[in-house]
Amino acid sequence: MASERKYIDLLVEDFGLVLDAGAQPITTDNRHSIGQDIKHAVLESGLARALIGERSPVLRADVRTQIRILVEQDRRLVPGTAELREEAADRYLLTARTYEFGDLEVTL
């Protein structure tokens, strides 16, 4: 596992930047940055909204597959490791393995 800050991004929570006590943006790196990028890609694609709004089990399975395909296009992830699990009717846990930083979990 690499310990250097290879991927650096501004920390975003609840669709806004997280600021420190001096009102400066906080940064995040590596595994968390990759997870944040993946979460934003899924949200921006509209697939998360489609998944939560869909009632048909067959169509929900199709949307889950589309999300996994989208996520696995990220070159920082090991292909075939993305999994999407329903935790509640409106919350899903996406897990995947990065090449350099181990496993990651993203809540959608």
Within a domain: 65: yes
Give, rounded to a whole angstrom, the gap between the first and last alpha carbons of the chain: 26
From first to last of its 108 residues, the chain has per-residue pLDDT tens of 556 888 888 998 887 888 999 999 998 989 999 999 999 999 999 999 998 888 898 999 999 999 999 999 999 999 999 999 999 878 899 999 999 999 999 998
Within a domain: 3: no
pTM of the predicted model as reported, rounded to 2 decimal places: 0.84
- Residue 5's pLDDT is 86
**Tally of domains in the chain:** 1
33: domain range?
8-107
Render 45-86 in DSSP notation, one character per residue: HTHHHHHHH---HHHHHHHHHHHHHHHTTSTTBPTT--EEEE
Within a domain: 1: no
Within a domain: 75: yes
In degrees, rounded to 5, the angle at the alpha carbon of residue 71 between the alpha carbons of residues 37 and 52 is 90
Model pLDDT for residues 76-89, shown as the tens digit of each residue:
999 999 999 999 87
Name the 3-class secondary structure at 105: strand
Within a domain: 78: yes
